[in-house]
Structure 1
Amino acid sequence: MVFGKYLFWTNTLSCGILMASGDLIQQEIERYYGAYKNKHYDWKRTGRMFIVGLALGPPQHVFYRMLDQRIPKRDFKSISKKIILDQSVVSPFCINFFFIGMGYLEGHTWDEIVSEIKRKFISVYMVGINKNYFKRKMVKTILFTPLLIMA
């Protein structure tokens, strides 16, 4: 009940917490593989991720609520539309927002931020599309394999 009553704030805070948690996991992976030389966590970096996540929470909340209102059905066609809109509208927005927010918080100039977006946007976007594609394939396999075995 609490989450439903305060859904906007729950989604916003969740976005910040997930971004910060993801950064801590990434730092651990970087340390494990030797890419991150520091023995301690970079809490400032994690804090920046938390702030960007908090800032990303509200627009995502509004977009997904609007999407559910405009496309309320849960059939294959409706879900496909939602996925296409998510990948074609939300993903590019979030990627750009991330680079702009992190660049600003790290003290970069606008020209440096734009340069980084130009260098990295396509590869980040494609990784997101590929990961989402493979996640859906994996979920479908897990969901439908028992049905095939029982048939």
Structure 2
Amino acid sequence: MPTASKPIRELADVPIHTLLLRTYLQLLHSRPVLTKALTSGILSALGNLLSQNIEQRRKSKSSARNVDLVALLRFAAYGLFFTGPLSHYFYLFLEKVVPSSAPMAGLRRLLLERLIIAPAFLFLFFIVMNFLEGKDLNSLNKKLKDSYWSALKMNWKVWTPFQFINVNYIPVEFRVLFANLVAFFWYTYLSKTRK
């Protein structure tokens, strides 16, 4: 004898935020790298778009807004192909190398991320952006010489508390999202406060 199925709640009855969260969690489970890559790409592009908008408002009183689509695509590409996938594998690697049960795991995780991964990731950012901007090796060398050390010091200063929380308290499957959201809000804040 067939069993009666339970009625399924109409999708119209489910709030959109619940549907989005449910879909995100399902995708995070079934396709974690792709989901994190897409999330990173989208949030990077949105952060760049918001930053451009804030910068244009500051410079001009006119209502006409020009979006630098090439810059937006550069940030989206970096998030999609680098931030999302590399961060996914780094956080998994970190769990294996420094499990929660290891002595002083929190400090060891933070030091590994801050002293090895952050400098390498920032260096990669400079290289990829230089390439995507169509600039040559001389331009990269100048940019590294002029900006890398100050950018790294700022990274250590700003990101250390967030990364401590991320690598020690955020579940591994949500660490890329947490870092993306912090970056989004941080760069938005910087855009608003820059003179």
TM-score, normalised relative to structure 1: 0.78
CA deviation after TM superposition for structure 1 residue 51, in Å:
0.9
Matched AA of 2:133 = E
**Unaligned ranges ≥5, structure 1:** 138-151
CA deviation after TM superposition for structure 1 residue 6, in Å:
0.8
In structure 2, C-alpha distance between the alignment counterparts of 1:16 and 1:78, rounded to whole Å: 30
Deviations 1:49-100, CA, capped at 9 Å, x for gaps:
1111122122222111110122221789212211111111221122111111
For residues 31-46 of structure 1, what are the structure 2 equivalents within 5 Å?
31-34=56-59, 39-46=65-72
CA deviation after TM superposition for structure 1 residue 42, in Å:
0.8
TM-score, normalised relative to structure 2: 0.62
Q: In the alignment, does 2:151 pair up with 1:99?
A: no
CA deviation after TM superposition for structure 1 residue 120, in Å:
0.6
Partner of 2:111: 84
Deviations 1:11-50, CA, capped at 9 Å, x for gaps:
1122212221221121122123228x98211111100111
Does the 8 Å contact 2:53/2:65 carry over to 1?
no
Q: In the alignment, does 2:70 pair up with 1:18?
A: no
Partner of 1:127: 154
Shifted more, 37-46 versus 9-18: the winner is 37-46
Question: How many residue pairs get matched?
Answer: 136
For residues 51-62 of structure 1, what are the structure 2 equivalents within 5 Å?
51-56=77-82, 57-62=84-89
Partner of 2:143: 116
- Cα RMSD between the aligned structures? 2.5
CA deviation after TM superposition for structure 1 residue 125, in Å:
0.9
Which of the numbers 2, 24, 48 marks the counterpart of 2:74? 48
CA deviation after TM superposition for structure 1 residue 110, in Å:
1.4
SS in 1 for 2:146: helix
Which structure: greater helix fraction?
A: 1
**Unaligned ranges ≥5, structure 2:** 1-25, 165-195
Identity %: 24
